[in-house]
Amino acid sequence: MANDIYERDLDRNPANYQPLSPLSLFERAARVHPDHPAVLYGGVSRTWGETHVRAVKLARALRASGVGEGDTVAVLAGNIPEMFEAHFGVPMAGAVLNTINTRLDAPVVAFILQHGEARVLFVDQVFGALAREALARMDGALPLVVDIVDPGGEGNVGVGDTNYEEFIERGGKIVLEPQPRDEWQAIGLGYTSGTTGNPKGVVTHHRGAFLGAVSNVLVWQMQRHPVYLWTLPMFHCNGWTFPWVLAAVAGTSVCLRNVNAPDIFAAISRHGVTHLCGAPIVMSTIANAPEALRGSVGHRVECMTAGAAPPAAVIQAIEEMGFGITHVYGLTETYGPATTCEEKPHWAGLPARERSELKARQGVRYPMLEGLMVANPDTLEPVPRDGKTIGEIFFRGNMVMSGYLKNPRATEEAFRGGWFHSGDLATWHPDDYVQIKDRSKDVIISGGENISSIEIENVLFRHPSIIDAAVVAMPHPKWGETPCAFVTVRDGESLGAADVIAWCRDNLAHFKCPTRVIFGAIAKTSTGKVQKYKLREQAVSSG
Closest to its own copies by CB, 396 vs 534, is 396
CB of 3 to its own copies, least distance (A): 4
Give the neighbor-by-neighbor strand order of the sheet with 275-278.
44-47, 37-41, 252-254, 227-229, 275-278, 302-305, 324-331, 336-340, 364-365
C-alpha to C-alpha distance for 169 and 161, rounded to whole angstroms: 15
Closest to its own copies by CB, 5 vs 521, is 5
C-alpha to C-alpha distance for 297 and 318, rounded to whole angstroms: 12
CB of 306 to its own copies, least distance (A): 18
CB of 363 to its own copies, least distance (A): 9
HEC-encoded secondary structure of 74-119: EEECCCCHHHHHHHHHHHHCCCEEEECCCCCCHHHHHHHHHHCCEE
Closest to its own copies by CB, 117 vs 147, is 117
CB of 171 to its own copies, least distance (A): 18
CB of 29 to its own copies, least distance (A): 9
Closest to its own copies by CB, 155 vs 345, is 345
Give the neighbor-by-neighbor strand order of the sheet with 201-205.
162-163, 144-148, 118-124, 72-76, 96-99, 186-191, 201-205, 403-404
Closest to its own copies by CB, 208 vs 280, is 208
CB of 372 to its own copies, least distance (A): 9
In 3D, which of 231, 255, 82, 258 has the Cα closest to residue 154?
A: 258
Closest to its own copies by CB, 3 vs 494, is 3
- Phi/psi at 521 (5° precision): -70, 150
Contacts of 335 (CB under 8 A, 6+ apart): 204, 208, 209, 212, 237, 238, 240, 241, 399, 401
CB of 230 to its own copies, least distance (A): 22
Closest to its own copies by CB, 208 vs 278, is 208
Q: How many residues does this entry show for the chain?
A: 543
Please give the span between the terminal C-alpha atoms of the chain, in angstroms, as a whole number.
Answer: 71
Closest to its own copies by CB, 40 vs 470, is 40
Strands 144-148 and 466-476 turn out to be unpaired
Contacts of 314 (CB under 8 A, 6+ apart): 280, 283, 284, 287, 325
CB of 418 to its own copies, least distance (A): 4
Task: Measure CA 395 to chain center.
Answer: 16
- Phi/psi at 212 (5° precision): -60, -45
Closest to its own copies by CB, 214 vs 321, is 214
Beta carbons within 10 angstroms of residue 415's beta carbon: 15
Q: Are 401 and 202 in contact (CB under 8 A)?
A: yes
Beta carbons within 10 angstroms of residue 491's beta carbon: 6
**Torsional sign, CA 157, 159, 161, 164:** negative
CB of 238 to its own copies, least distance (A): 16
**What stretches of 235-349 show up as alpha helix (H) in DSSP?**
237-240, 242-248, 261-271, 280-287, 291-294, 312-320
Closest to its own copies by CB, 2 vs 292, is 2
CB of 38 to its own copies, least distance (A): 15
CB of 497 to its own copies, least distance (A): 43
HEC-encoded secondary structure of 348-376: HHCCHHHHHHHHCCCEEECCCCCEEEEEC
Closest to its own copies by CB, 78 vs 94, is 94
Beta bridge partners of 276: 229, 303
Beta carbons within 10 angstroms of residue 462's beta carbon: 15
Closest to its own copies by CB, 402 vs 488, is 402
Angle at 340 between CA 250 and CA 289, to 5 degrees: 75
CB of 97 to its own copies, least distance (A): 12
CB of 509 to its own copies, least distance (A): 32
Closest to its own copies by CB, 5 vs 292, is 5
